[in-house]
Amino acid sequence: MTPPPHRIRRPGLRSGLVLWALVSNLVALAACGSIKLTNIPATSPPARPPGATLTTTQPNATGLKPSPASTSPATPDKFTVVLDPGHNGANASHPTEINRPVPNGRGSTKACNTTGTSTAADYPEHAFNWDVALQVRDALTARGVQVVLTRPDNTGVGPCVNDRATIANRTGADAMVSIHADGATRSGHGFHVAYSDPPLNASQGPSSVALATALATALRGEGFTPANYKGADGLDPRSDLAGLNHARIPAALVECANMRNPQEAALVSTPDGRTRYATAIADGIMAWLTSQ
């Protein structure tokens, strides 16, 4: 199925974004490690924040609803980007829910979600993903981009990986960027950016590759090095990531760092380090948007 054509936007916004990109140039993180969950008592998911207007997915076989997405319709005169902070804070206390099989987009299944990885000092990936995503959201919003998050907080469960893509598709967004950190061997270091390959629709072809490339270029520009254990030149074509396989808009997944590498674990655990990653991701998204 071919995705609908991009919306026509007023020239004023696009010109402003191009000007921002030129001025910034002149002035001048699912392959994550996961924990196998067994015999963990289930608890009720946290209550929805008071007054929040949220869109939820349908209840699943366990009776639980995944953490809802903070969604709103795209507006015709703005770029819209979906940010997908990987995992969620309550995943570990709901093993039945996150281990249930969901479609992987290529005729098979995979687990709904995982707990994500953590540093040796137990700083969790889901917290890193959430903080970086909020900072990217704020940076993009300040530049006139409408931002949608696939989950509203870091205290819920899910959504499942396929539902994250559904959220993005439903908004009619220009792009989706998933934010993660990896859990590889201690000697592995560096970032890599994944995209769905072989592509399953037109948006997963050159447009997604261009988005992934813009993100990798921006991460290098911020001083980060491409992974020495995964992909090539910071790019990692993947067929097994359901969130990318189900996407019908340009989509990429950033593995910012290896949380099991001591040096990178120290960096992702600091506010300054997370801000550096957020800055690079926001710059990469803006570079791709202004090239469209």
Cis peptide before 124 (omega within 30 of 0): no
Report percent pLDDT > 90 for the chain. Answer: 73
Angle made by CA atoms 199, 281, 240, in degrees to the nearest 5: 30
Domain edges within the chain: 61-289
Residue 123 scores a pLDDT above 70 = yes
Q: Is 222 among the residues known to form the active site?
A: no
Minimal CA–CA distance to 45: which of 83, 100, 96, 119?
A: 96
Residue 37 scores a pLDDT above 80 = no
Cα–Cα distance measured from residue 54 to residue 67, given in angstroms and rounded to the nearest whole number: 10
Using CA atoms, how far residue 233 sits from 8, 194, 204, 228, 286, in Å, is: 34, 11, 19, 9, 21
Average pLDDT over residues 188-202: 98
Topology of the domain covering 61-289: Aminopeptidase (3.40.630)
Region of residue 190 (left: phi > 0; alpha: psi -120 to 50; beta: else): left
Task: With beta carbons less than 8 A apart as the criterion, state whether 280 and 41 touch.
Answer: no
Cα–Cα distance measured from residue 88 to residue 153, given in angstroms and rounded to the nearest whole number: 8
Q: Give the pLDDT score at 32.
A: 55
Minimal CA–CA distance to 119: which of 229, 226, 266, 278?
A: 266
Angle made by CA atoms 10, 13, 18, in degrees to the nearest 5: 125
Residue 167 scores a pLDDT above 50 = yes
List, for residues 152-165, the tens digit of each pLDDT value: 999 999 999 999 99
Q: Give the pLDDT score at 70.
A: 52
Q: Give the pLDDT score at 140.
A: 98
Angle made by CA atoms 123, 129, 134, in degrees to the nearest 5: 125
For all residues of the chain together, what is the average pLDDT?
83
Cα–Cα distance measured from residue 82 to residue 249, given in angstroms and rounded to the nearest whole number: 10
Cα–Cα distance measured from residue 38 to residue 259, given in angstroms and rounded to the nearest whole number: 23
Task: Give the strand pairing for 192-196 and 251-258.
Answer: antiparallel
**Catalytic, out of 97, 125, 222, 255:** 255
Q: Give the pLDDT score at 77.
A: 73
